[in-house]
Amino acid sequence: MNKIRENTVHNTANDTQIDRSKQQKIAGISSVLGSTIEWYDFFLYGTMAAIIFPQLFFPEQDPYVATLLTFSTYAVGYVARPIGGILFGHLGDKIGRKVSLVATLILMGVMTLLVGLLPGYNQIGLWAPIIVTVLRFLQGIAIGGEWPGSVLISMEWGTKKNRGFMAALPQIGVPLGLILGTAVTSLFITVSGDSFQTWGWRVPFILSIFLVIIGLVIRFNLLETPSFKKALEEKELPKLPFVSVFKHYPKQVISGVFSNVSSDIAFGVFAFYTTTYGIKFLGLDKSIFVNATLVGAVIAVFAISLFGYLSDKISPKKILGFGNILLILWALPYFYLLNTKSTGLIFLAIIIAFIIHSIMWAPLAPVIAASFPAHLRFSGSAITFMFRGLIGGGVAPLISTYLLNKFDTGYAISGYIIIAAVIALIALKFVDVKYHKED
């Protein structure tokens, strides 16, 4: 490890003449592409969890129980995220952002390929759900390091005038990954027809390996950020970064988790559970929700870019607060429109939901990452973001399934979303967004 650190410091001298604006563009593009690939893999599982996995891995269960078990394997990915955040946060703060990003991409790619090749319950029995749960766990570990690495490599190459926008660029990878995963899923639903449940669902998972190869080629050409190099030169790196984060920055972690948890819960409901709600509760065709989600994700790409730009002009905290207020106002109308069973109104509900989520999602990165100094920023960002996901999006489909089964109405889920948004607004008052001397 010391040798790697010495090489990184040595490379600093060679990088002094590098055109920062050029590196900024390369970092932005590589972060968006890498993030897109990682989230494609991660969300592809979520999509299949809603439409295929209950029958494939839990065929002998009651439909309600099978759905709960499937979303439990989905939640496992979120449980693993803090572990991945600590592991790759350690690598990212001790060795470098680049090393961690390459490792996360390889891990995610291999696990996703194996999911696509995994036999179902009818072939290998109980081993099928056990193995898919393990693979999902390892996917979660990969995401635990991917998000903070992508954000930091982009944000730290930015300038004081555009850090919010640069930090928002990797966030675009979420809707792009969802677009790609949804589009490929929709394509193979059409192409494979009745064979989708036997082999059609596997192809999107297997194809991801080609995306990973492209992402690796780009990431191998990345340079470390000036902020991390300065931290290396000043020998500020702690032996255990995650311990230092909890010891010296507990307020930043706690306020960061709860001020952003609503966006993750909202996404878990809007992007994933809505499909299950439409199919199981409303009795509608899954293609309506798959296509509406696709349109919403396309619009989100532009919305995230816009509000990332505005976060530099206004304030990341104010943008995030505004998004939470809109979420409170939209939670009830959202399910009202879904319940009409009108295709047009369902599209409208989902599109507006994605725009509101984008308003919260765009400033999330600077709100979290700028709360920590460079020598602890990877670990601090990873821990905060991943615990937010663990209590947010990871359990959102599970809690939504329970609430719907207990109260027999989607408005119970609306209440869940509103409570999360109120908590986020309160926690946001304790968030201190600032950039440090290394920047």
Q: What is the pLDDT of residues 58-97, one digit of tens each?
A: 777 777 777 777 777 767 877 888 888 889 888 888 888 8
Please report the pLDDT score of residue 350 as a whole number: 96
Q: Is residue 433 part of a domain?
A: no
For the stretch 317-346, what's the b/e string if a residue is b when 16 or more beta carbons lie within 10 angstroms of its beta carbon?
bebbbbbbebbbebbeebbebbbeeeeeeb
Q: Is residue 434 in a domain?
A: no
235: Cβ contacts below 8 Å, ≥ 6 apart = none
- pLDDT surpassing 90 at residue 269: yes
Structure tokens at 299: 């619009």
Q: What torsion, rounded to 10 degrees, do the Cα atoms 104, 109, 110, 111 define?
A: 90
Amino acid (1-letter code) at residue 2? N
- Domain with 139, as residue range(s), is 2-428
Confidence at 167, pLDDT banded by 50, 70, 90: confident
pLDDT-derived band at 235, boundaries 50, 70, 90: low
Q: Answer whether residue 382 shows pLDDT above 90.
A: no
**pLDDT score of 50 more than 80:** no
- Examine residue 435 and state whether it is found in any structural domain, yes or no: no
Selected residue with higher pLDDT from 327 and 71? 327
Percent of the chain with pLDDT over 70: 92
Number of domains forming the structure of the chain? 1
Residues 6+ apart with CB under 8 A from 174: 35, 39, 267, 300, 304, 361
- C-alpha 204/C-alpha 181 separation (Å) is 7
pLDDT for res 294: 86
Whether residue 295 lies inside any domain: the answer is yes
Identify the three-state secondary structure at position 393: coil
pLDDT of residue 15: 47
Query: Within the chain, what is the greatest distance between any pair of CA atoms?
Result: 64
Q: Is 207 helix (H, G, I), strand (E, B) or coil?
A: helix
Count of residues making up the chain: 439
Backbone angles phi, psi at 33, to 5 degrees: -65, -50
Q: Is residue 91 part of a domain?
A: yes
In a domain, 145, yes or no: yes
Kindly provide the residue ranges of all beta strands, DSSP E only, lying in 83-184, ordered along the sequence: none
Task: Look at 211-225, 259-273, 317-331 and tell me which has the smallest mean pLDDT.
Answer: 211-225
Question: 389-424 pLDDT, tens per residue?
Answer: 778 877 888 899 899 999 999 999 999 999 999 999
Is residue 438 included in any domain, yes or no?
no
**Structural domain contains residue 437:** no
Distance in angstroms (rounded) separating the CA atoms of residues 192 and 208: 18
pTM of the model: 0.80
At residue 187 the predicted structure's pLDDT band, cuts being 50, 70 and 90, is confident
CATH code of the domain in which 25 resides:
1.20.1250.20
pLDDT of 258 reads 94
Q: How far apart are CA 293 and CA 182, in angstroms?
A: 8
The H-or-E segment that residue 127 falls in is helix 127-155
